[in-house]
Amino acid sequence: MNAATLSLVFLIIFGVTVMFCEGRIGGATERCLCQETNLQKRVKPVFVEKFEVFSPSASCSYTDIIITLKNGRKFCLDPNGKQGQWILSGQELKEKAKMPTGKRPRGKKQKKKKQQH
């Protein structure tokens, strides 16, 4: 086999492999933690032990909110529902608080010299 034929065979195999790749975003084979059909709309805050927010990623294009109850049960909360939006807005505020404000650090003040005439 010459180099041109070998390169052509390699490109065909590579192209077929890419076409059948299962990890496409938005495809039917996304690996999200929550399924859109099993989302809870509300939860009584008294029963909640903790919640986790998973932002969209390469394996899932949706935001997942997983609620852990005090009895150990876990389930998914609808991020488009009222409680889901409330949790997401709280997360945004928390992340903004961690970011630096852009102010210069305090240090010694430099005195301006008066110009003499």
Does residue 68 register a pLDDT over 70?
yes
**pLDDT winner (highest mean) among 11-20, 34-43, 76-85, 107-116:** 76-85
Residue 44: exposed, middle, or buried by beta-carbon count in 10 A (0-12, 13-18, 19+)? exposed
Higher pLDDT, 1 or 7: 7
Residue 113 vs residue 18, higher pLDDT = 18
HSE value, Cβ hemisphere, 13 Å, CA-based, for 68:
6
Confidence of residue 37 (pLDDT cuts 50, 70, 90): low
pLDDT of residue 38 exceeding 60, the answer is yes
Residue 58 confidence (pLDDT) above 60: yes
Domains of the chain: 31-98 (2.40.50.40)
pTM of the full structure: 0.53
